Structure 1
Amino acid sequence: MDTQRIETVVIGGGQAGLATGYHLARTGRPFVILDAGERIGDAWRGRWDSLRLFSPARFDGLPGLPYPGPAWSFPTRDEFADYLQAYAAWAELPVRTGAAVRRVSYTNGRYVVETAGDLRYEADNVVVAAGYDRLPKIPAYAGQLAPGITQLHAVDYRNPDQLRDGPVLIVGAGNSGADIALELARTHTVLLSGPHPGQIPWRIESRKARFLTPALFFLFRHLLTVRTPIGRKVRPKVLAHSAPLIRVKSSDLKAAGVRRVARTTGVRDGRPVLADGTVPEVTNVLWCTGFRPDTSWIDLPDAEVFDVDGEPAQRRGVVESQPGLYFVGRLFQYAMASSMIQGVGRDAEFVVRHLAARSVAASVEDGPAAPGSRRPEIVNRPGPEGVSHR
């Protein structure tokens, strides 16, 4: 196995990893970003075809480079993926694609990062900027559904052509479930199963939103934080993935013919059973039931890295009990905005300041750095050409 020595490894080449790379490059510290996709942005390209961001373009830029679309447009998944690819090129970030990380361990005072391609890195610091809650959450009884019922998790859904003719039961009434329900209602009878999560009281694409959305993002960045009483009260709900509907309204679903039904609780004779005892006749089941954590690849002492709830035991991304380990892009890492495109840059900057100070202190202890070991600081550059937008 080929082993390379580098100061910092950033795991994940999405918005959190690229924002971290931007700030690392400005410090001149050596690093590499590892991404599992064949192209930067593939995590976005792999989502359903009609997906659009919930945030307008004016809030969709990463540090140093605004998103190039009209300020109040809502980028598609492919448009934003193209922006991420162009951003990495503009900032000259050292991203290695096709490098899925299969294990992170700690040996002899250094982190060891192993990739699926048999390339291994030894590093002083590791920044986890890829969500580890990526395993589809599907109830155990799903395996009891009749073979004639097509079932998909939202992570595998792309478009209506994947489904059979006939009714669809969507299990999970959050944003993904509601968005997909509205799309499928054009071609299928749709039952939306689960409690109503509530909804924001305005249209995100309306003129009214141009005044309310900036105020909302200010709230997300500055008031809903771990330092404020209201932020600490809201945080458990966010971590439980309890969020109101953002784009789709209940009236939209009703007008499209989507029928709300009770929670799905099990299977009887190969068919789904609802909490009210109803057994709907459906030919498709779509699980919009979220994801669960996969920490198997982080081979570090759980007591040092995670808290009792399985969340990283971090303060603003710094794992103090495991020096040199950092997280960026986690849900409510510091604020409501932490996992949002317009919020990752601030958290990344905080993490990089801590990491750089630690690295400088270690360099002083070890003696002067070798000539040429620092990367040149990135300064303002013209925006990239060829980023698609509407």
Structure 2
Amino acid sequence: MAKRSNTKPAVRAEGQGIMSEHFDTVVIGGGQAGLAMGYHLSRLKRPFVILDDNARTGDSWRTRWDSLRLFTPARYDALPGSRFPAPPWSYPSREEFADYLSSYAQKYELPLRNNVRVTSLGHNGHRFAIEAGGRHFEADNVVVAAGWDRKPKVPAFAPDLNPAVHQLTAASYKSPKDLPAGPVLVVGAGNSGADIALELAATRKTYLSGRHPGEIPWPIDAVAARPLTLAVFFAFSHILTLNTPVGRRARPQILAHSGPLVRVKNRDLVRAGVERLPRTEGSKDGLPLLADGRALEVANVIWCTGFRPDLEWIHLPVFGPDGGPEQDRGVAKAQKGLYFLGGIFQQSLASSMVHGVGRDAAFIARHIAAAQSPIKIRPEGSAAPQ
């Protein structure tokens, strides 16, 4: 078991009675990316703290739709140093995965602070300055492991739909019983859209709009197909990467659309009665307008059109023309000591997946350790210098 560093944060006055805690490294976000980061920092005996805005570790999963199951089998749902406590080819529920994250943090004694929402990240000329609801932190290094999927993408024409059309996103949808009676249009045909459309088709007419992202063409848990599945997930981590020509070619398409369907297949949707439609491109007379010119009469629309990062609280010159942080394998190009973790295709297609984030975290942890002088770990119970 990796042991938490017993190095205590230095605390100093900031004037007018405001106290600031100083850490070697602050990890912002206590989801799977932040926990993987903590694991590797612990293994390298680097002092750190993880700040998470949820009341409990794993709560970001507990608030997603009720029937959510991970689209990858349990053998691919474990963080570094651990395994997922379920049959390897089963699909964990949101609650099971949330509880796993909680137990993981406890097992490795990761220094988590819950109910701490970071509202500002800057630099005071000496070290990073972090504001979090009246709390103040300073750090030599900061790993941003949160914010990648906080804001659902909703088309600009969504407000033009008739107010009678009930609109939700993949983040706000919970279950079919929460929708008014009548047909539903799911916009976005990736893994989330396919999952939600399949569930809704059992109780109402369901349409699925958007480009088919492709799919793994076999049941990934079928015994006979397991060698193929293993090869596919190997490709996600080791072939579809920024180090290979095929990975560099695939990345723009994956960022613009989504990765392939993994668990739900097109044939599953057809059998359930889900009707596939072209892209939804606008509104007409208060109804969703399809690319073929039809205005679709529906009572509900669920936008499964992805998420955009919520990084406006970072007040540092690290963003490129596309609005995203300029980084190389998570290392910020223009700000020493700043790192990003958990973004889609950060280094490989697996970077934002549970089984892939650990490798990126290990790289960043090694970079932090190499960039700084070694830190002596004092004997248990010794006092920290102030």
Maintained 8 Å contact 2:45/2:377: no
Cα distance in 2 for partners of 1:321, 1:180 equals 40
Q: Secondary structure of the residue that 1:33 maps to in structure 2?
A: strand
Q: Which runs of 4+ in 1 moved over 4 A?
A: 369-375
- Quote the residue 1:262 is aligned against: 278
For the pair 1:343 / 2:356, whether they are aligned, the reply is yes
- Quote the residue 2:131 is aligned against: 114
Counterpart pick for 1:222 among 230, 238, 251:
238
- Quote the residue 2:74 is aligned against: 57
- Identity within the alignment, %: 58
Q: Once the 2 structures are TM-superposed, how far is the Cα of residue 373 of structure 1 from its aligned partner?
A: 9.9
Cα distance in 2 for partners of 1:221, 1:282 equals 40
Q: Unaligned stretches of 5+ in structure 1?
A: 364-368, 376-390
Maintained 8 Å contact 2:71/2:191: no
Matched residues, number = 365
Cα distance in 2 for partners of 1:241, 1:33 equals 31
Counterpart pick for 2:144 among 123, 128, 148:
128
For the pair 1:307 / 2:320, whether they are aligned, the reply is yes
Q: Once the 2 structures are TM-superposed, how far is the Cα of residue 30 of structure 1 from its aligned partner?
A: 1.5
Cα distance in 2 for partners of 1:66, 1:294 equals 30
The verdict on how the C-alpha distance between 1:334 and 1:370 changes in structure 2, with shifts beyond 3 A counting, is: closer
Q: Once the 2 structures are TM-superposed, how far is the Cα of residue 119 of structure 1 from its aligned partner?
A: 1.0
> What amino acid is the match of 2:185?
L
For the pair 1:209 / 2:233, whether they are aligned, the reply is no
Cα distance in 2 for partners of 1:139, 1:370 equals 52
Q: Once the 2 structures are TM-superposed, how far is the Cα of residue 133 of structure 1 from its aligned partner?
A: 4.4
The verdict on how the C-alpha distance between 1:360 and 1:373 changes in structure 2, with shifts beyond 3 A counting, is: farther
- Quote the residue 1:95 is aligned against: 112
Cα distance in 2 for partners of 1:332, 1:66 equals 23
- Quote the residue 1:173 is aligned against: 189
- Quote the residue 1:82 is aligned against: 99
Maintained 8 Å contact 1:56/1:74: yes
Counterpart pick for 1:324 among 337, 359, 364:
337
The verdict on how the C-alpha distance between 1:143 and 1:62 changes in structure 2, with shifts beyond 3 A counting, is: same
The verdict on how the C-alpha distance between 1:307 and 1:209 changes in structure 2, with shifts beyond 3 A counting, is: farther
Maintained 8 Å contact 1:131/1:330: no
Shifted more, 156-165 versus 239-248: the winner is 239-248
Shifted more, 248-257 versus 157-166: the winner is 248-257
Q: Secondary structure of the residue that 2:257 maps to in structure 1?
A: coil
Question: Mapping of 1:1-390 within 5 angstroms?
Answer: 1-115=18-132, 117-301=133-317, 305-360=318-373, 371=378
CA-to-partner distance for each residue in 1:16-69, whole Å, 9 max, x for gaps? 110110111122222110111111011111111111112211222111111111
The verdict on how the C-alpha distance between 1:311 and 1:208 changes in structure 2, with shifts beyond 3 A counting, is: farther
Q: Once the 2 structures are TM-superposed, how far is the Cα of residue 216 of structure 1 from its aligned partner?
A: 1.4
Maintained 8 Å contact 1:30/1:373: no
Shifted more, 82-91 versus 313-322: the winner is 313-322
Q: Once the 2 structures are TM-superposed, how far is the Cα of residue 370 of structure 1 from its aligned partner?
A: 8.8
Q: Once the 2 structures are TM-superposed, how far is the Cα of residue 6 of structure 1 from its aligned partner?
A: 1.1
CA-to-partner distance for each residue in 1:340-377, whole Å, 9 max, x for gaps? 1111111111111110122217x7xxxxx6956999xx
Maintained 8 Å contact 2:72/2:262: no
Cα distance in 1 for partners of 2:158, 2:194 equals 21
The verdict on how the C-alpha distance between 1:336 and 1:196 changes in structure 2, with shifts beyond 3 A counting, is: closer
Cα distance in 2 for partners of 1:132, 1:222 equals 23
Cα distance in 1 for partners of 2:174, 2:163 equals 21
Cα distance in 2 for partners of 1:63, 1:281 equals 48
Q: Secondary structure of the residue that 2:229 maps to in structure 1?
A: helix
Cα distance in 2 for partners of 1:245, 1:158 equals 21
CA-to-partner distance for each residue in 1:106-135, whole Å, 9 max, x for gaps? 1122101111x3111100000011133421
Cα distance in 2 for partners of 1:88, 1:163 equals 36
The verdict on how the C-alpha distance between 1:99 and 1:241 changes in structure 2, with shifts beyond 3 A counting, is: farther
Q: Unaligned stretches of 5+ in structure 2?
A: 1-17
Maintained 8 Å contact 2:147/2:311: no
Q: Once the 2 structures are TM-superposed, how far is the Cα of residue 267 of structure 1 from its aligned partner?
A: 1.9
Q: Secondary structure of the residue that 2:365 maps to in structure 1?
A: helix
Q: Secondary structure of the residue that 1:227 maps to in structure 2?
A: coil
Maintained 8 Å contact 1:14/1:43: yes
Q: Secondary structure of the residue that 1:216 maps to in structure 2?
A: helix
Cα distance in 2 for partners of 1:161, 1:372 equals 57
Cα distance in 2 for partners of 1:104, 1:59 equals 33
Maintained 8 Å contact 2:189/2:212: yes
Cα distance in 2 for partners of 1:240, 1:374 equals 52
Maintained 8 Å contact 1:131/1:329: no
The verdict on how the C-alpha distance between 1:223 and 1:261 changes in structure 2, with shifts beyond 3 A counting, is: closer
Q: Once the 2 structures are TM-superposed, how far is the Cα of residue 12 of structure 1 from its aligned partner?
A: 0.8
Maintained 8 Å contact 2:188/2:304: yes
Cα distance in 2 for partners of 1:233, 1:128 equals 26
